[in-house]
A and B are shown apart, each in its own frame.
Chain A
Amino acid sequence: GAVVSQHPSRVICKSGTSVKIECRSLDFQATTMFWYRQFPKQSLMLMATSNEGSKATYEQGVEKDKFLINHASLTLSTLTVTSAHPEDSSFYICSAFRDTSYNEQFFGPGTRLTVL
């Protein structure tokens, strides 16, 4: 299957700082990428849809000014958690959408964010 990478895999930061997470589609161009969040022992929840060359679409309840998404190229989407607080500590996973006719998408390995 296709490969999607995320960087960093793990990050610890102080409250109030901003953290950037990168999601890269390594072997195909993805016009659409998704960002999910998973709190401990919970399910994955879609945060936003990242579209190359346009603004991201956020799910209800997700603060767009806090979670900045940039999809500057067909292989890279970034999620920036601004002014992070302990409640933002979570596992963030991206996916790259390859084929709309077959709904084929590939997940990155995830980024574990801990805010102290």
Chain B
Amino acid sequence: AQKVTQAQTEISVVEKEDVTLDCVYETRDTTYYLFWYKQPPSGELVFLIRRNSFDEQNEISGRYSWNFQKSTSSFNFTITASQVVDSAVYFCALSSGNTGKLIFGQGTTLQVKP
């Protein structure tokens, strides 16, 4: 079975704090892809990152960074020096094999207060 778990339902931080959003996944496939999406109030999904199962290298993009650890089946997302504009719902997703089908986690609502 394939599953994505985002245990944090809601997180509230004050601007400039660092925040980490957790994502744990389950799959029996050896080839899979992991994603993070941001969903602002408008509803449109904003793609943040895609990582395949063979690339465990961590990635940094500006204030965003991702930590992929196959040993713990986790793909955590950290926002450094958070800003009010980061307030949104963040989804972690899994796609196994080459089907393209995405299984989404429950989502984490991040509120960044000024």
Interface residues of A (CB under 8 A from B): 1, 32, 34, 36, 38, 42-46, 49, 91, 93, 95, 97, 100-107, 109-110, 112
Q: Known contacts A46-B101, A107-B45; can you find 6 more A-B pairs with CB under 8 A?
A: A34-B100, A43-B105, A103-B33, A105-B100, A109-B42, A110-B43
Cβ A49 vs Cβ B101 within 8 A = yes
**Interface of B, helix, strand, loop or mixed by DSSP:** loop
Report the minimal beta-carbon distance from B67 to chain A, rounded to whole angstroms: 20
Tell me the nearest residue of chain B to A46, going by C-beta: B101
Given A43-B91, A43-B105, A43-B107, answer yes or no on A100-B100 (Cβ-Cβ < 8 Å): yes
**Interface of A, helix, strand, loop or mixed by DSSP:** strand
Can you list 19 A-B pairs, Cβ within 8 angstroms, ordered by A? Answer: A1-B47, A43-B104, A43-B105, A43-B107, A44-B91, A44-B104, A45-B104, A46-B103, A49-B101, A93-B45, A102-B52, A103-B52, A105-B100, A105-B102, A107-B44, A107-B45, A109-B42, A109-B44, A110-B45
Partner of B50, one of A34, A95, A103: A103
Interface residues of B (CB under 8 A from A): 33, 37, 42-45, 47, 50, 52, 91, 95, 98-107
Cβ A34 vs Cβ B107 within 8 A = no
Cβ A97 vs Cβ B100 within 8 A = yes
Given A43-B91, A43-B105, A44-B91, answer yes or no on A103-B47 (Cβ-Cβ < 8 Å): no
Report the minimal beta-carbon distance from B69 to chain A, rounded to whole angstroms: 20
Q: In the complex, A100→B37 CA distance in Å?
A: 19
* B-chain residues with CB within 8 Å of residue A102 when the two chains form the complex: 50, 52
